[in-house]
Amino acid sequence: MQASTQYSGKVVLVTGGTRGIGRGIALAFLAQGATVIVCGRHAPPEAITSGASEAVFFRADVRDTEQMADLCASIALRFGRLDVLINNAGGSPQVAAADASPRFSAAIINLNLIAPLNLAQSAHALMDLQDEGGVIVFIGSVSALRPSPGTAAYGAAKAGVLNLVRSLAVEWAPKVRVVAVSPGMVLTEESHQHYGDADGLAAVGATIPMGRLAQPDEIATACLFMASGAAAYATGNNLVLDGGGERPAFLAAAATVTNGVGRKSGAVKRGLQVAGDLPA
């Protein structure tokens, strides 16, 4: 990403910023001149740097409310301000809903909904004291907008995040803007754990209209925009980055439908496989 000074003098906190999407976001803000703080339970294997700039790492667990309050207090003491919070930390392993224990589901909802809310409250307390206010960006997911088989609690938590964004935006406007960026599938260092080898990744990518998974820096670019003055009137909004979404499953089934003489029906050719388009 091309270096700039768009965020010079700004202080940005990225939770879960040591890997994956979070790391990409941290690098993007560094490249734009920001002072970037990343937090996580484990230190990154190598420093997160862009040119001569390096992200500051704090070891902290976003699920621990006291640790997050201490983190915000440390940021205020060391840097004197907090301009942007990227509420990125989250995730879930695959577990069938019928097999998920109450404890597991509660933990997933806590990580993906309650923890970001608690941190947003601490960040807001700092931002509300600043003349310029601040911006809180929640990293959502398309799992909030479609079925999420295998990660039902995660999808429900992310759906809760989108409602939370709208509610906080109303309560904290106009000084603190609250927005969401919701990625679809993103190519990270852990993608192979979900989709397999290069062939598996290519097969999954082929289901997306854009023909591939997103790159972390593409999610980062959206965060740069949503947190910038260019999006000054955006609050309560959710920017979806899913490469066009998912091709409707009925289209693949319809492609195999033939009429009695072995030709695809005219209706199939015209793509009229929606209830009500075809005569009974």
Active site residues: 154
Which residues have CB under 8 Å from 80's CB, separation 6+? 11
d(C-alpha 39, C-alpha 85), whole Å: 11
Closest CA to 85 of 47, 43, 133: 133
Number of Cβ atoms within 10 Å of the Cβ of 39: 25
- Peptide bond before 149: cis, by omega within 30 degrees of 0? no
Q: Is the peptide bond before 174 cis (omega within 30 degrees of 0)?
A: yes
First CA to last CA across the chain, in angstroms? 55
φ/ψ of residue 229, rounded to 5: -65, -20
Can you say how many angstroms the Cα of residue 40 is from the centroid of all Cα atoms in its chain? 16
Inter-residue contact 165 to 238 (CB < 8 Å): yes
Total residue length of the chain: 280
Question: Residue 231: phi, psi to the nearest 5?
Answer: -110, 30
Residue carrying structure tokens 């995660």: 154
Tokens for 263?
């030709």
- Residue 118's φ and ψ, nearest 5 degrees, are -60, -45
